[in-house]
Amino acid sequence: MGLGKEAVMAETWSGEFYCVKCKEKREAEGEVKVNDKGTRMAKAVCPVCSTNLNRILGKA
């Protein structure tokens, strides 16, 4: 399962995240992380309540 490039620059993603604390969608910009299953996740912080936001972006 070699996906190649390991040392990539931090990628950012901006868009809608669902904040579980506000129970609303929030526009935010966050960093893209890839987990060990190869699923891309965006991580950001809610601009209103500072809760960590996660959004699954899908397979790389």
Residues of the shown chain interacting with Zn ion in the complex, contacts defined by CB under 5 A:
19, 21-22, 46, 48-49, 51
Nearer to Zn ion, 20 or 56 (CB): 20
User: How far apart are CB 54 and Zn ion at their closest, in Å?
Assistant: 12
Q: How far is the CB of 28 from Zn ion (least distance, A)?
A: 9
Q: Are 43 and 29 in contact (CB under 8 A)?
A: no
DSSP string of 27-57? Answer: EEEEEEEE-TTSEEEEEEE-TTT--EEEEEE
